[in-house]
Amino acid sequence: MMPLFEQIKNRPFVLSGPCVIESADLLFEVAEKVKAISEKLGFVYIFKASFDKANRTSIHSFRGIGYEKGLEALAAVKARYQLPIVTDIHESHQAAEVGKVADILQIPAFLCRQTDLLVAAAQTGRIVNIKKAQFLSGKDMRYPAQKVADSGNTQILLTERGNAYGNNDLVVDFRNLIEMQTLGYPTVMDMTHAVQKPGGAEGKSGGNRYYAPFFAKAAAAMGVRGFFVETHPNPDKALSDGANMIALDDLESVLAQTLEFVYLAERQQKD
């Protein structure tokens, strides 16, 4: 089989799953359904869930089921459904162990300038997905990417998730996607975190999932072929970022519509 990074460079791909690991049963339900959707539509599918949400607004918020149990749950998904895995790391000492399970190590947006974290992720030999900080422009992402590349790893993804201008809100400047694509690495649109309202719901982040499909289609029309989308069978009952997540039953429609814009952009490029 073609290596995962080569698949990502050659086909539309989606990083998708629940925000945080709530239970093994939730992971299995989401993985099974999103795998079927992805195979039907033709996406490369990478399963996503966080074993620890270390950046929750409140110290009382749910963070996950723990480091060891979380990695065990992700390994179980990988084995049962034969899926590649992406998950976040927050500290450099986590990289090597998480890299034994995850095919893609994700660098959280607020940590994308942390040199030791980037270098440790690079040294695992795994793909490194760097989420653009809410305070950076797209062109500034050349520097985090260079830290990974100069550490001997050019398997890099760059993910857009909006910019913060205060007042518990994010704004997507689509020029960032153009700038990030010029750096030569696959670019990802995080359609669900881009509609987040950080800290805007009295001790937790709010958001509005209604806008997420529009952001995905706009990014696709600009040549983006990678999409990050968190999903849950019942987002309003989710333990983290529920306001932003796409309902699992709605995901196929969202991805199918997005794919139409991917193909439209490809036809225009050929013309």
User: Along the chain (271 residues), what's the average pLDDT of each consecutive run of 10 residues?
Assistant: 96 97 96 98 98 74 82 98 98 98 97 98 98 96 98 98 88 96 98 85 72 97 97 94 94 98 90 74
pLDDT of residue 91: 96
Inter-residue contact 50 to 20 (CB < 8 Å): yes
DSSP assignment letter at 148:
H
Inter-residue contact 100 to 117 (CB < 8 Å): no
Q: Count CB neighbours of 95 within 10 A.
A: 23
Give the ranges where 82-225 is alpha helix by DSSP (H): 95-98, 115-123, 142-149, 175-181, 212-221
Q: Count CB neighbours of 194 within 10 A.
A: 23
Inter-residue contact 245 to 238 (CB < 8 Å): yes
Measured CA to CA, the distance from residue 47 to residue 27 in angstroms comes to 9
- pTM (predicted TM-score): 0.95
Please give the structure tokens belonging to residue 60: 């009382």
pLDDT of residue 66: 85
Measured CA to CA, the distance from residue 30 to residue 135 in angstroms comes to 32
pLDDT of residue 206: 72
SS3 231: strand
pLDDT of residue 41: 98
- Strand ranges inside 95-225, DSSP E: 104-107, 127-131, 156-160, 163-164, 170-171, 187-190, 196-197, 206-207
pLDDT of residue 62: 64
Give the ranges where the chain is alpha helix by DSSP (H): 4-10, 24-41, 67-81, 95-98, 115-123, 142-149, 175-181, 212-221, 251-270
Burial class of residue 132 (count of CB atoms within 10 Å of its CB; 0-12, 13-18, 19+): buried
Measured CA to CA, the distance from residue 189 to residue 228 in angstroms comes to 6
